[in-house]
Amino acid sequence: MKKLLCRVLFWFKNSRPYTIPITFLCWLVIFIYSFKQGGNLINGIIAYFGIGLLHLATNLADDYFDYIRLSKDPRHIQGTKDSKCRYLKSGLASLGELRLVIGLMLLVSALIGGYLFFSAGWYVIIFALIALFIVLAYSKLSSCGFGDVAVIAAYGPLMYEGVYYVMCGRLSFSVLVLSFACSIFVDSILYSSMILDYDEDFNSGKMTLCTRLNSKNKALLSLAVLYIIGFAFTCYYSVIVSNYFCLICFFVLPLIVDLMYSLDIYNKNKSILPKVHFWNYPLDNWNSIKDSTCASYFLRFFYVRNIAVLFLCLISLAIYIK
């Protein structure tokens, strides 16, 4: 039993559980909204566990398909972070075991989906099939430069309309608008990491939305446009539901301006580490990172993540107090 628990913990760590808080906050926004609409509390909570499992399964499936592709192309191996697929490269796990773990996660998610199907209705099947497609196709979509589309779809309409449906039994246009506002801020994390990885991805031949633009400046400008679209959806949502408390989300705007300036510096010189201010925190394991060569990278990465977290917290608060 102890050996089994250690193996479960091993796979849990490899599935990148540090990404779960963002998933939780995204779910929390629509959970609060749905609950205030009289939604089914139990269904909403059960849906979260299904969403979390699918998220972790997507991370492992991404490793699986990436490892197969990386092993065939030395350029990608050289351009990939050391932590990517480390447990496969070191022989601590096999592709066969990884397939089994992904399959088990999908099976449990399917059982959760089955319960929600009988509890809420047949639309659950459609949401489940779309989610399965994203889990299995994300690595391919990402390698073709369409990872952002998958993230916005998964963290947006799929999650928000799905949770709202199993809790309230219907779909909603206002929920759709809200989903785009939140998922765009979530995607800003992925997109910013692409900006930070621009040189490595470009030199290794990896196709991302940023490398498709063929310019660091254009990539940075596109991030600004992405944020503008996110704020536009936020404003539109606040108008159609008459909840102007949502405009408190604009408190993150000065942080975004500061982030854009910091990313511009990074594009010109990666070695420059800006002064760390209190609004940059939290910075995970910063004491062990700050003197390393990757400190400049992680400072920006944590910063953009924190901005997304703050945005989701503020919009959750705005929905709750309405």
Helix %, strand %, coil % for the chain, to 5? 80, 0, 20
Whether residue 193 is contained in a domain is answered as yes
Helix (H, G, I), strand (E, B) or coil at 98: helix
Distance CA 164, CA 123 (A): 11
| Domain CATH for 93 | 1.10.357.140
Q: What is the pLDDT along the chain (322 residues), one digit of tens a residue?
A: 777 888 888 888 888 888 888 999 999 999 999 999 999 999 999 999 999 999 999 989 888 887 887 666 655 544 445 456 778 877 788 888 999 999 999 999 999 999 999 999 999 999 999 998 998 888 888 877 788 889 999 999 999 999 999 999 999 999 999 999 999 999 999 999 999 988 887 776 777 788 888 888 899 999 999 999 999 999 999 999 999 999 999 999 999 999 999 999 999 988 888 888 899 899 888 888 888 888 899 999 999 999 999 999 999 999 999 8
Whether residue 210 is contained in a domain is answered as yes
Both 158 and 198 in a single domain? no
Structure confidence at residue 75 (pLDDT): 52
- pLDDT tens, residue by residue, 74-97: 555 444 454 567 788 777 888 889
Structure confidence at residue 203 (pLDDT): 76
Both 199 and 161 in a single domain? no
- Residue-by-residue DSSP string for 132-167: HHHHHHHHHHHHBT-HHHHHHHIIIIIHHHHHHHHH
Both 139 and 39 in a single domain? yes
Both 141 and 267 in a single domain? no
Longest dimension (CA), the chain: 56
Structure tokens at 227: 């944020």
Evaluate whether 186 touches 196 at the Cβ level (below 8 Å).
no
Both 245 and 290 in a single domain? yes
Both 158 and 229 in a single domain? no
Domain boundary among 171, 206, 226: 171
- pLDDT tens, residue by residue, 27-41: 999 999 999 999 999
φ, ψ (nearest 5 deg) of residue 144: -95, 0
Both 218 and 269 in a single domain? yes
Whether residue 278 is contained in a domain is answered as yes
Distance CA 297, CA 310 (A): 20
Whether residue 181 is contained in a domain is answered as no
Distance CA 151, CA 288 (A): 30
Residue type for position 189:
I
Whether residue 180 is contained in a domain is answered as no
Both 221 and 163 in a single domain? no
Structure confidence at residue 79 (pLDDT): 47
Structure tokens at 75: 């350029």
Evaluate whether 58 touches 16 at the Cβ level (below 8 Å).
no
Whether residue 58 is contained in a domain is answered as yes
Give, for 196, the enclosing helix (H) or strand (E).
Answer: helix 173-196
Distance CA 235, CA 179 (A): 13
Structure tokens at 90: 């070191």
Both 219 and 311 in a single domain? yes
Please tell me the total count of domains within the chain.
2
Counting Cβ atoms within 10 Å, is residue 234 exposed (0-12), middle (13-18) or buried (19+)?
buried
Structure confidence at residue 35 (pLDDT): 96
Whether residue 176 is contained in a domain is answered as no
Where in the sequence is the domain holding 280, given as residue range(s)? Answer: 187-322
Whether residue 178 is contained in a domain is answered as no
Both 87 and 161 in a single domain? yes
Residue 274 DSSP label: P
DSSP E strands in the chain: the ranges are none
φ, ψ (nearest 5 deg) of residue 207: -95, 120
**Distance from the Cα of residue 246 to its chain's centroid:** 22
**Distance from the Cα of residue 173 to its chain's centroid:** 23
Distance CA 233, CA 308 (A): 15
Both 147 and 199 in a single domain? no
Both 166 and 313 in a single domain? no
Domain boundary among 146, 171, 196: 171
